[in-house]
Structure 1
């Protein structure tokens, strides 16, 4: 799809392009996606390609009671549907885990990645999915982030980033058993995760992000009494980041660092629940997950497929809207960056 611009050639500004998938067809994803797409201001914020069949989109609109304007060429105020999708999805049972749901979900995500590889979109937003259904359908990676990385041929640093309001979190380890966390907390791993969080925050427009780093052990390790990761691994990474001129502080005790959240733009935690529990207590409905470190910005609501809410109209749009806002904003900054570099 050609990149659209404003009508006046003298002030032409390229618009961000975002692909949207409907997520797991058995859950609340399709209805949330069409409610998002039905909002006029969202369609005005970006050129949107919806990765779904016409039948899928029609079913979701009927369920949600909304109308999404569609055009073949992505005319202003409309969305464009992709074509040639496999896995029609007509046999997916609602409100349950299934291989069929996983196949449809993976098919749509693969097509969205194709669009990104072809340079047709700068960002992807996917509605909630179900990891069990994905694994039944053949996804062997522990999570979708690693699957995205493999599909994109990306072997650099990656981390799930979680966002609530203005606060971003990243983690050194993610979907691994707790018994395996400590050996993975190394100076190199902490340094790489700090670098990723710092760079992503800069992408959002923060020139000098303020980052706090959580400890791994209780009481910040109590000077080595409860573990030495803080002394031997985490502190050296923080010192190295500070030496590069980054505004990084820590490690701080994990049970109090989120009480100081107003001091930071981002917080780096050591494992999944260390940050997720805090973030979900602070605001479950508005959370967003970004698949950090990938060559394309990929965002999704932080909540799941909510099988119990399918068809009730009670699923909150807040997280899906926030995911789209972040994707459109970062995509817009990436579109603007090359133009700035050419002196345009």
Structure 2
């Protein structure tokens, strides 16, 4: 039986709502929620959903199919009004879930959205899930990949200012990340010989050095090295046309956040999933934020959460074979 840990995210946002709304559409498994009973009960009241769960104190007690809650930090949170208290809750939910996933108490981890502002105000020193998960796992080489059925996009850089992207891109770093992407596509997604499209940094991939030289000096040499080692990589491609060729590739490797994620979110916003590659466990999440502005209005769409859980379940099943 697959067991999936779910960290509830910021209880002042839409996470409790999408959990109770999406729960009826999830695969049959054992789900251990690290969160707040009051937040879930409030979400049930808002949505009118009959979301049944059992209170437990450890993941070992989740010994059958269904939903189980470890009630970590049970305060009265104001829906749509985040503060340090809701940020602290999100941190505690995450830390406890990660502690158990690292101890192999669950087969996969699904993280619901947190607010970078409020978790950091609560003393969390990481700007988001990905860097924290890599840190506590002792992982140096990892990748954020966003995906849906039609497209997979991995990122060379993530949440940094655009002005810092060029100086962050290094040949050896690109090589190591693309090798990791290739490995994870093979191991997690069972793609035997992944074909990866590598995007350029500049408009028209630098236009032969006329619009920037990063392609000539850094990106193309990295691609050439990978090709010599037998990796099936193509590039550097101009980002403005590369996604029209998505049927040719198993994944794209983009140089910065918006370059890769605007096309993906345009194509499949409601069903896009975030997965962290390179961790010693499976981690997925919905591809959206806390939704404080719509929290409590019963209009939050659980589709991305449902897809994130389905992917975690699928990968956990593959991993157990």
TM-score after normalising by structure 1: 0.86
Q: Which residue of the other structure, out of 19, 26, 31, is the alignment partner of 2:5?
A: 19
Q: CA RMSD in A?
A: 1.8
Sort the Cα spacing of 1:143 and 1:76 in 2 relative to 1 into closer, same or farther, 3 A. closer
CA distance in 1, matches of 2:243, 2:114: 28
Q: Which residue of the other structure, out of 157, 182, 186, is the alignment partner of 1:198?
A: 182
Q: Which residue of the other structure, out of 138, 147, 150, is the alignment partner of 1:163?
A: 147
Q: Determine the structure 2 residue equivalent to 1:340.
A: none
- 1:312 deviation in Å? 2.3
- Would you say the 8 A contact 1:97–1:132 is kept in 2? no
- 3-state SS of the aligned residue for 2:301? coil
Q: Which residue of the other structure, out of 34, 38, 45, is the alignment partner of 1:62?
A: 45
Q: Which residue of the other structure, out of 20, 33, 47, is the alignment partner of 1:50?
A: 33
- 3-state SS of the aligned residue for 1:176? coil
Q: Determine the structure 2 residue equivalent to 1:8.
A: none
Q: Determine the structure 2 residue equivalent to 1:307.
A: 292
Sort the Cα spacing of 1:89 and 1:200 in 2 relative to 1 into closer, same or farther, 3 A. farther
CA distance in 2, matches of 1:100, 1:164: 34
- 1:263 deviation in Å? 1.1
- List aligned pairs for 1:1-344, cutoff 5 A: 15-39=1-25, 42-44=26-28, 46-71=29-54, 73-82=61-70, 85=72, 87-90=73-76, 92-152=77-137, 154-202=138-186, 203-336=188-321
CA distance in 2, matches of 1:155, 1:77: 32
For residues 120-144 of structure 1, the C-alpha deviation after alignment (integer angstroms, 9 at most, x for no partner) is 1121112222111111111222332
- Would you say the 8 A contact 2:32–2:69 is kept in 1? yes
- 1:47 deviation in Å? 2.2
- 3-state SS of the aligned residue for 1:38? helix
Q: Extract unaligned runs of 5+ from structure 1.
A: 1-14, 337-344
- 1:162 deviation in Å? 0.6
- 1:75 deviation in Å? 5.0
TM-score after normalising by structure 2: 0.92
Q: Which has the higher contact order (CA 8 A, sep 6+)?
A: 2
For residues 237-265 of structure 1, the C-alpha deviation after alignment (integer angstroms, 9 at most, x for no partner) is 22222233322111100111111111111
